[in-house]
Amino acid sequence: MLVPLDRALLEGDPSALALRFDLPHGEPWGWALAQALLSARELARVLVSGEPPGLLSLVEAELARLRELREELRERHPLADLGVRPATEGEWAALRVLEEGDARELAEVYRRYGRAPFVCHAAFVWNRRLEVVRRPEPAALEALVGYEAQKKKLTRLAERFLSGKPVPPTLLYGARGSGKSTAARALLFAYAERGLRFVELFPEGLFHLPELYEELEGLPYRFVLFLDDLAFEAQDERMAKLKSLLEGSLFARPANTWILATSNRRNLVREAWADREGPAAWDTAEELRSLADRFGVVITFPPFDQARYLEAVAHHLGRPLDEKTRAEALRFAGEGRGYSGRTARQFAELYR
């Protein structure tokens, strides 16, 4: 079987189809089978690399089988619309192949749109395996006040990456609450329609990055691999793993990936006083710097002062500050939160 099928399709189970499948609006059985085509990972890999005549014949037979199955399922279990969203371009293309296309047209779908889940979704997390984020938290660069130069540099890098050019691993460094993570996540919402995909790497997933590289390589998308709030202990095994994967590993990072990280620490490592003393202090310092040096681009987000904080409060409230609101905003920051974009946003959410 070239196209593996879910049990809900093999057994014609409408309940499983309704509860487990993320379907677009329209006739459910057709969309479910189109998604099965998009999920055929090995078939996609082989067809993209070449079109052997023997395989094309097998694919034609498989498409005929799927069409027969669709008609059988529609006849046995006629269903109304189970969709929860519009179909993507890739899903429409797969459905057209299912209905009347041939093997070469299916190969073209794989080349142009890739495969599931990247056809249907733009945000993911990686922690030993890839998981879809169906509703990523919204973020917009416009919400960041006072960091125009940083936003401009970040968007220039994103434009370069989307044009197919390489971008070095990039570190967004600065004070807590300054908006580094928001700036990174905002790229997803700004560029998803142009093929950007966003994969947040959880710490334990660093030990399994070669598997992720294999998953992403060759796909017609551009992937931001995001590491949020990096901070390692000096002897943390994950630090050594990340160093080798940034530079110096036998596993080559795919050309369609860009590593983007945030940290409150320029050297990315929590340094103890003991690390600064004694005969091994120089070696320790070099070890700490060696990870940070692997980030070819560093964008610094300086801390807020009072004026920038009040500017951000006014931006989030959508109006100039009167004296009462100004005093309340300063009191709110003075309760231990400090001046930051995060504090400004939190105050605005409470004060609206």
Residue type for position 98:
L
Does residue 81 belong to any structural domain of this protein? yes
Does residue 163 belong to any structural domain of this protein? yes
Number of structural domains found in the chain:
3
Helix (H) / strand (E) containing 228: none
**Number of DSSP helices (H) and strands (E) in the chain, helices first:** 15, 9
Domain boundary among 57, 83, 113: 113
Q: Nearest 5°: phi and psi at 293?
A: -65, -20
State the DSSP code for 85: B
Does residue 286 belong to any structural domain of this protein? yes
Does residue 328 belong to any structural domain of this protein? yes
Same domain, 49 and 165: no
Q: How far apart are CA 164 and CA 222, in angstroms?
A: 8
Q: How far apart are CA 31 and CA 37, in angstroms?
A: 10
Q: How far apart are CA 221 and CA 110, in angstroms?
A: 12
* Beta pairing class for 232-233 and 123-126: unpaired
Same domain, 291 and 198: yes
Does residue 262 belong to any structural domain of this protein? yes
Q: Residue 32's CB: how many other CB atoms inside 10 A?
A: 21
- Render each residue's pLDDT in the chain as its tens digit; 352 residues: 899 999 889 888 888 888 888 999 999 999 999 999 999 999 999 999 888 899 999 999 999 999 999 999 999 999 999 998 999 999 999 999 999 999 999 999 999 999 999 999 999 999 888 999 999 999 999 888 889 999 999 999 999 999 999 999 999 998 888 889 999 999 999 999 999 999 999 877 888 888 899 999 999 999 999 999 877 666 666 666 777 667 656 567 899 999 999 988 765 555 554 444 555 444 455 555 666 778 889 999 988 889 989 999 999 899 999 999 999 999 999 988 888 888 998 999 888 7
- The sign of the CA dihedral 340, 346, 351, 352 is positive
Residue type for position 185:
R
Same domain, 89 and 140: no
Of 82, 87, 91, 115, residue with least CA distance to 16: 82
Does residue 1 belong to any structural domain of this protein? no
Same domain, 32 and 181: no
Q: Does residue 127 sit in helix, strand or coil?
A: coil
Q: Which domain holds residue 338?
A: 306-351
Structure tokens at 104: 């070469």
Structure tokens at 101: 């296309």
Largest separation between any pair of C-alpha atoms in the chain: 80
Residue 331's contacts (CB-CB under 8 Å, 6 or more residues apart) are none
Of 212, 193, 215, residue with least CA distance to 204: 212
Same domain, 342 and 292: no
